[in-house]
């Protein structure tokens, strides 16, 4: 979660390669991909999405965060229709 949130793509990649779950939620119910969307960490968002991170996991989820912060490129990546 912290590696993703702070935009550390190489560390996130290493953790995923070692078996880290891209869908684990923190104690506040937030997912790594939603944190990366919030912070605008393009490389981490793409990496987590490619590793099957659930864009609907957590609250707010990655899709909600992308809508909130008008991150249209993430919505396109996620295959979500933009409003």
The pLDDT, as a whole number, for residue 82 is 72
CATH code for the domain in which residue 48 is found: 1.25.40.20
Q: pTM above 0.85? A: yes
Note whether residue 40 is domain-resident.
yes
Count of domains for the chain: 1
Q: Which of 3, 4, 17 is nearest to 62 (CA)?
A: 4
Domain, as residue range, for 34 = 2-78
Is 23 inside a domain boundary? yes
How many Å apart are CA 59 and CA 70, to the nearest integer? 17
Average pLDDT rounded to a whole number, residues 27-55? 97
8, part of any domain? yes
- Is 83 domain-assigned? no
With a cut of 90, say whether residue 83 has pLDDT above it.
no
Mean pLDDT value across residues 41-66: 97
pLDDT band at 81 (very low <50, low <70, confident <90, very high): confident
In a domain? residue 34: yes
| Mean pLDDT (the chain, rounded) | 96
């Amino acid at each position: 979660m912290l590696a993703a949130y702070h935009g550390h793509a190489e560390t996130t990649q290493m953790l995923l390669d070692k078996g880290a779950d891209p869908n684990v939620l923190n104690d506040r119910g937030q997912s790594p991909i939603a944190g990366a969307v919030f912070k605008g960490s393009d490389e981490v968002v793409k990496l987590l999405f490619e590793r099957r991170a659930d864009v609907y996991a957590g609250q707010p989820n990655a899709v909600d965060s992308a809508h909130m912060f008008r991150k249209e490129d993430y919505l396109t990546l996620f295959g979500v229709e933009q409003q």
